[in-house]
Amino acid sequence: DAGITQSPRHKVTETGTPVTLRCHQTENHRYMYWYRQDPGHGLRLIHYSYGVKDTDKGEVSDGYSVSRSKTEDFLLTLESATSSQTSVYFCAISDYDGNEQFFGPGTRLTVL
Amino acid sequence: DQQVKQNSPSLSVQEGRISILNCDYTNSMFDYFLWYKKYPAEGPTFLISISSIKDKNEDGRFTVFLNKSAKHLSLHIVPSQPGDSAVYFCAAREETSGSRLTFGEGTQLTVNP
């Protein structure tokens, strides 16, 4: 299994509070991704990174920001959480030439 | 708009029979397709893939078929086993988008003993 961890694994927070989710990899892969999974929508890309300090938006990036200051860490921040951001969040990684993405175990976020 | 669609939210089959999961896409620029399997409380795991230059790829009990003219792909599992019960996601990559993937909604497969 690819070495990907996500923290926290579960979080309950209140509307309006900031939340940061962390993805950590030990594979030295160049590309990292954040997805959310919701019923009826599958996996939707939030943001991705193609190198340290290099990030770009995905299809559902509104309300989210990311940072990647080291190869191994990719942070997803909800500046002011809303109930619509209640979801399961997955981090994924891939290497330069890879077509396949490896996923972390997920973080279940509930915004009350 | 949903560029990758899995129109069947669920599928139930008997152990030993064939499972066929379907996926349709609208973007003709997709050049690589993948299937992922997901168990509850775990991340998706890669299952099998196919390039647009092929129409079939086989790996053990799993075969993926691609019909480019119909913009349709399917995953066949033969024989189906109870351990195959999971959510299956179809995904596609556009040749100009690097490694970014677009996923379908997923199909819950249940294999009954």
Interchain pair A43, B89: CB under 8 A = yes
Interchain pair A42, B99: CB under 8 A = no
Do residues A42 and A19 make contact, with C-beta atoms less than 8 angstroms apart? no
- Cα torsion angle, A33, A10, A37, B103, sign: positive
The residues with which A35 forms a beta bridge, in sequence order, are: A45, A90
Report the C-alpha gap between A24 and A91 in whole angstroms.
Answer: 9
Report the C-alpha gap between B20 and B30 in whole angstroms.
Answer: 22
Do residues B88 and B21 make contact, with C-beta atoms less than 8 angstroms apart? yes
Look at residue B99 in the predicted model and tell me its pLDDT: 76
Look at residue B110 and tell me whether its pLDDT is greater than 60: yes
> CA angle at residue A23 from A12 to B86, to 5 degrees?
75
Task: Indicate the residue of A42, A90, A102 with minimum beta-carbon distance to B106.
Answer: A42
Residue of A nearest to B48 (CA): A100
**Cis ω before A18 (30° cut-off from 0):** no
Report the percent of chain B where pLDDT is more than 70.
99
Look at residue B100 in the predicted model and tell me its pLDDT: 86
Look at residue B2 in the predicted model and tell me its pLDDT: 81
The residues with which A75 forms a beta bridge, in sequence order, are: A22, A67
Look at residue A1 in the predicted model and tell me its pLDDT: 55
Look at residue B108 and tell me whether its pLDDT is greater than 80: yes
CB distance from B60 to chain A under 8 Å?
A: no
Look at residue A98 in the predicted model and tell me its pLDDT: 59
Look at residue B87 and tell me whether its pLDDT is greater than 90: yes
What string of pLDDT tens digits covers the 112 residues of chain A? 569 999 999 999 999 999 999 999 999 999 999 999 998 889 999 999 999 999 999 999 999 999 999 999 999 999 999 999 999 999 999 986 556 899 999 999 999 9
